[in-house]
Amino acid sequence: MSQPFTAIATLIAKAGQQDALEQHLRALLEPTRAEAGCSQYDLHQDLANPQAFYMIEQWSSDEALQAHDASAHIQHFRATAGDLIEHFDLKRLRVVA
């Protein structure tokens, strides 16, 4: 089993789609926070670029994140909100100090 880690998901909305993307992202909060292995799942919006959203996540293991990726709510998000996203990136971080 892997070690706990932080993930930062960056999602950039297509022009004119930031409000719709925000609604879809907000819908992920409650079910994801209830998942085993998730200790943080917080949505942030860039003050300088409102089209940019960041999900700050804490996971207990790689397996917990994999289960999240396979969850029904994430699959639904991908199917319904994928066309709203210009760019997606996921950074996985380990605590150094």
In the chain, the number of structural domains is: 1
Instruction: Provide CB contacts within 8 A for 69, sequence distance 6+.
Output: none
Look up the domain containing 88 and give its range.
5-93
Mean pLDDT of all residues in 81-89: 97
Report residue 51 as tokens. 């089209």
How high does pLDDT run on average in the chain?
Answer: 96
Instruction: Indicate the pLDDT class of residue 2, thresholds 50, 70 and 90.
Output: confident
Mean pLDDT of all residues in 75-95: 96
pLDDT at 12: 98
Q: What is the pLDDT of residues 53-63, one digit of tens each?
A: 999 999 999 99
Which CATH number characterizes residue 47's domain? 3.30.70.100
What is the number of residues in the chain? 97
